Chains A and B, each alone.
Chain A
Amino acid sequence: MAAVETERIGRVCAAICLLSVCSLCTGHTRDRQVLIELNPGSPSPPPGDLLHARAVGDNDTLHFLFCSQGAPTLLLVHTNTSFSTVKVCLHVDSTTKPSTHEPSDWCSPDVNFLFLSQVNWAQFNDRNHSGGLTVEPESSVLYSTAVVFNRLLEYDDINDTADPTSDLFPPYDLQDFRWSRLNLSGLTALLCGNTAASSNGSLCLQLSLFETEGRGQHWPRLLHTANSSQLRVWLDGVLPRATRSRFLLELQSVGGASPLNRVEVHRSIDDEFTPSIFKVSQWISALNDSSDVLGFVQWKPVAYRQADPALEDAAPCRHSEPRPQSGEAVAAVSGLIRAFYKEPEATGLNGAAGGRRLAARRLFLTTGHRHDGGWFGNSHDPPAAGRDLRLHPEEGGGNGLRANQLMAVFDHVTSLCVSQLGLRRLLNMFLPDVTHCKMTSCL
């Protein structure tokens, strides 16, 4: 979860940007050609939209799958061929969310191998069955990882310490949100949703894909390559439930053999693109402390309180240490994870492509608050390394067996970049106004 903090009573906006896969090559990263399709081949709009984007390189492909069925999830699959496709099986029945389908099993046949994807929607929509989504050919999958936005937590920071030890309000479960249809424009997709209980405020995610290197347009202006995607997340008009509310957003990462397991913070002297921020945080999946990074989620520890922020709209963003998580719990909230990652005991993978054993970690992002001229309230604390947010305990998830192919992928890296959350700061606590805040993070 990533946490967003609010300063005062009022509408809260937060944006998170999530980057997706980035390939770490020695030298210049190559451009890719990005092809996007929405709900490919679905006979009728499914309960949650599925966006499939293929970033095709010379001899490899990155598949980005963004799904709003359950908790919003971004899945990245890296294959070693330019011709891989995604096959989705959906099963719709009355035990899942209300839908307009008749219960059926429907998998579209592979009509044309070169089509972008064939979707078997019947099995996909059935959250009780795994294997609804596959990447064909399965042997070409080198690496896969996913990030799930699970929950939005809120707590009342009475002592203004930005330390969520006080009682948390009932969390917003993103899997229970009513999500809008994915809004595509160019290489960007926008997804907004609000709680079923009230229509006050919404949480939006905007996924951007890139064909070439560049830098984000909005603060914190993270650098991207053709191998990354960026995800901006923001809260728009969400009413805080206390005077000193702070929000936490929970991110869960799922990976087959090596999920993202540790967070590194890099310091730099350069704050040209993000004034007054000198750090970049990366949640990486590294092989046993080696320096080879397979995938990462990258963000700058800042959140902005305005859609078009100025320097003083910045609020610090902290993260917790990643903690192991039950893969089963993650699969239960996210349809995409359930579909792609098979049950641990069902597959017994060993050397299978990509390693689709379910291993998960979760991370909390908390945005801070400038008080008394500092980030950290009354005392100086380092960024929340090792901070335990004391939510219900997780069982350890196994790392799964490492696929042989992963060892060869030493120069390819998947990166997920998460941008920080922006907050709407009220000028007058009695007159909240709705302002759209966005936060982006990309390095």
Chain B
Amino acid sequence: MYFSNILLNFDNDAAMINLPFVKASDRFNINSQLEHLQAKYVGTGHADLNRFEWAVNIQRDSYASYIGHYPMLAYFSLAENESIGRERYNFMQKMLLPCGLPPAERDDD
């Protein structure tokens, strides 16, 4: 609901002109464009993003970065006195539920 409000504001706004590839006829398409971005780039936010989803994304990105940067992985494994291979596996496993269980759905009016 909130999201569509933003879109309505775009209608006669200067911001509309700045958006590339958007013609007047495509204006119902902006929704699909955002969706396209969200589908293509994991972690692209949207107006209804809640605190949990945001945190999950950040955590997954962090773990991916720790795994990608080998020195960092080594640094963690020194602290925990585990082998680097085990540390990498643990981080991969933690990417499943990085912030615990999602909160129960609430009906936001």
- Asked whether A and B interact, the reply is no
| A positions within 8 Å CB-CB of B | none
| B positions within 8 Å CB-CB of A | none
